[in-house]
Amino acid sequence: AQSVTQLGSHVSVSEGALVLLRCNYSSSVPPYLFWYVQYPNQGLQLLLKYTTGATLVKGINGFEAEFKKSETSFHLTKPSAHMSDAAEYFCAGRGGSARQLTFGSGTQLTVLP
């Protein structure tokens, strides 16, 4: 069965610093992987997704993630944090014929001035 683990429920970075949010998955089949973001009082918004092909995936707002099969990881990065990046981030995946997503527990990102 698919499972997704996010390391760190809270991450704080300074404005302009590198953002790194960690996600590991476990699956017996090639997964589809997603990062979603939830801003306060809003729904979940897709940041980026990995399906097949290129392992480095670029998303919106300058975020990107790299699918590393050998490490079963799909970490989210952004070179320079902005105050507007403060939100909760969710890693999610699905494998094989499953249609529903399995979510990680979420990481709250705080950006310090």
Nearer to another protein, 3 or 84 (CB): 3
State in angstroms the smallest separation of the CB of 78 from another protein: 21
Report the site for another protein in 25-54 (rule: CB under 8 A).
32, 34, 36, 41-46, 49, 51
* Smallest separation (angstroms) from another protein to the CB of 17: 25
Tell me, rounded to whole angstroms, the distance of Cα 54 from its chain centroid: 16
Name 94's Cβ contacts closer than 8 Å, sequence gap at least 6: 2, 31, 32, 100, 101, 102
The 3-class SS string of 35-87 reads EEEECCCCCEEEEEEECCCCCEEECHHHCEEEEEHHHCEEEEEECCCCHHHCE
User: Hey, which residues does 74 pair with through a beta bridge?
Assistant: 67
Tell the smallest beta-carbon distance from residue 103 to another protein (Å): 4
Site string for another protein, 77-106 (x = CB under 8 A): -------------x-x-x----xxxxxxxx
Footprint of another protein on this chain (CB under 8 A)?
9, 32, 34, 36, 41-46, 49, 51, 90, 92, 94, 99-106
